[in-house]
Amino acid sequence: MNILGVRNLSRHYGGLAAVNDVFLDVAHGEVRAIIGPNGAGKTTLVGMISGRITPSNGQIEFHDKDITRTSSWSRVLLGIVYTFQVPSIYRALTCYENVALAAQRKHVSEKVVSAAVKKSLMRVGLANDLQRLAGVLPHGHQRLLEVAMALALSPQLLILDEPTQGLAPSEIAAFCELVRDVSRSATVLLIEHNLKVVMQLASRITVMDQGSILTEGTPLEIEQHPAVRRVYLGH
């Protein structure tokens, strides 16, 4: 069963097609990676799925329902949660407040919110930073905080936009563990440059180039695909 269906989706900026006539089906429970060189249209594509960017053309379905015209904030309530490529956190607020903003969208009582906040921060390994200001966290931890905010929204479809960028190797290993853990309860759409991470995590991989989908397959198929090797891996 598909959780997400994208049909004919395009986004033009003037004469430039950032995303051109894309079809994409994501099955319930999979970890789908989207890879491709810079400017391939990955972020624009997930921007349209999350509702941040309005498509020029095409259709987006979530649980077989058309959500093309649904506002970004109501998509979050449906379960589509986006984490930003550049950490977008409330720098002047504490980690607790950051995650509480997400948690109170799901729960009413402050007690339950507080428990949910602690649980989310614990899952990403920031349990000791509750009262620290988000802005003073090291870059890698700001990314983790962003993920904690997403988790507190109990996503059905979690979109991670280059989550390991700027993380230390030890942090990357822990992060992969976290994504595996999350994927037990949510479908994950992962944009990632680090191919090692992609090969480890993804159940299927979609390759994009110049706004279109080049090919799609299992990690093994993608690794051996001649066009992918040429376009993406450069040999």
Closer to another protein by CB, 127 or 133: give it. 133
Rule CB under 8 A: say whether 149 interacts with another protein: yes
- Helix/strand/coil for 184: coil
Rule CB under 8 A: say whether 88 interacts with another protein: yes
Among 56, 70, 72, 194, binds another protein (CB under 8 A): 72
Rule CB under 8 A: say whether 160 interacts with another protein: no
Among 53, 93, 172, 199, binds another protein (CB under 8 A): 93
Q: What is the sign, positive or negative, of the torsion defined by CA atoms of 59, 35, 71, 74? A: positive
- Asked whether 171 and 125 are in contact (CB, 8 A), the reply is no
First to last CA, the chain: 36
Task: Tell how strand 204-209 and strand 187-191 pair up.
Answer: unpaired
Q: Of 65-73, 122-130, 136-144, 203-211, which segment contacts another protein by CB under 8 A? A: 65-73
Q: Which two tokens stand for residue 214?
A: 């080049």
**For residues 169-208, which are near another protein according to CB under 8 A?**
none
Give the Cα separation of 79 and 104 in Å (integer): 15
Closer to another protein by CB, 91 or 139: give it. 91
Which H helix or E strand runs over 23?
A: strand 16-27
Summarize as ranges the residues that interact with another protein (CB under 8 A).
Answer: 50, 52, 71-74, 76-77, 82, 84, 88-93, 97, 100-102, 104-105, 110, 113, 149, 153
